[in-house]
């Protein structure tokens, strides 16, 4: 079968991933934390860094994409795993209220629904996505993005008086 698992011990692979990212891209931060490589890149570089991960370093699996609303900017985390104990967390920060970032679907096809979910919940647009529709919310007549911090829920916080 054409699919092969990554070779080498965990330490070797982590070092290989760190060097592989560092030598090809101008990264803002990169370090090894435990069994994970933490990489921070500029938003414009993200598709290129992901392409390196998939095609050069052979990391097969995009686990999930998390978007965090930092009020004024959005922090996006791509969690990759290589199936054999090593993790890669790629982070980037996109400024502005209507952020746009390049899609990962051409590199990791599984990103399709993850990006649709991020678009639905946060309004983060993924340029080049083949099918960027809302995933959970109504397609029409609903202009909100529920996971934004500015979207308030109507119930009171639990245990408000205890703090």
Partner 1 sequence: MISEERRAEQQSALSEPPTGRLATPDVRDEFGLETIDMNMGPQHPAMHGLLRLILELDGETVVRCDPVMGYLHRCQEKIAENRMYPAVIPLTDRLDYFANMHNEHGYVLAVEDLLDVEIPPRAEYIRVLMCELMRLASHIPSIGFLMLELGAFTPILYAFRERERIQTIFEAVTGARMMFHYIRIGGVKADLPPDIPQKIWDYIEGLESRFKNDFVDLIQGNEIFISRTRGVGKMTPEKAVEMGLTGPPLRCTGVDFDLRRDYPYSIYPELEFDVITDTAGDVEASYRVRIAECLQSIRLIKQCLEKMPEGAVMGDLGRRLRPKEGDGFGRVESPRGEFAVHIVSDGSDTPYRVHYRDPSFCNMQLLQEVIPGHYLPDIMPIMGLVDPVSGGWDK
Strand partners, 66: 77
By CB under 8 A, name the one of 12, 83, 97, 100 that touches partner 1: 83
Structural Rg of the chain based on CA atoms: 18
Phi/psi for 57 (5° steps) reads -90, -15
Q: Verify binding: residue 108, partner 1, rule CB under 8 A.
A: yes
- Rounded-to-integer distance, Cα 13 and Cα 23, Å: 15
Q: Which tokens go with 102?
A: 């390049």
Stretch that binds partner 1, among 15-23, 44-52, 66-74, 96-104 (CB under 8 A): 66-74
Which of 42, 81, 106, 125 forms a contact with partner 1 (CB under 8 A)?
A: 81
Sheet bearing 61-69, strands edge to edge: 29-33, 36-40, 87-95, 73-81, 61-69
Q: How far is the CB of 60 from partner 1 (least distance, A)?
A: 5
Binding stretches for partner 1 (CB under 8 A) = 1-3, 5, 35-36, 60-64, 66, 68-69, 75, 77, 79, 81, 83-85, 87, 89, 108-110, 112-114, 121, 135-137, 146-147, 151, 153, 155, 157-159, 163
């Amino acid at each position: 079968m054409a699919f092969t698992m990554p070779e080498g011990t965990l330490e070797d692979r982590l070092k290989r991933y760190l060097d592989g990212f560092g030598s090809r891209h101008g990264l803002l931060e990169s370090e090894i934390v435990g069994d994970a490589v933490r990489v921070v890149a500029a938003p414009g570089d993200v598709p290129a860094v992901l392409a390196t991960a998939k095609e050069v370093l052979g990391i097969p699996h995009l686990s999930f994409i998390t978007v965090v609303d930092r009020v004024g900017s959005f922090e996006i985390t791509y969690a990759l795993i290589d199936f054999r104990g090593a993790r890669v967390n790629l982070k980037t920060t996109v400024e502005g209220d209507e952020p746009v970032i390049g899609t990962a679907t051409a590199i990791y096809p599984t990103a399709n629904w993850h990006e649709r979910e991020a678009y639905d919940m946060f309004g983060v647009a993924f340029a080049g996505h083949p099918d960027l529709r809302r995933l959970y919310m109504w397609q029409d007549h609903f202009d909100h993005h529920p996971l934004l911090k500015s979207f308030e829920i109507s119930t009171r916080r639990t245990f408000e008086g205890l703090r």
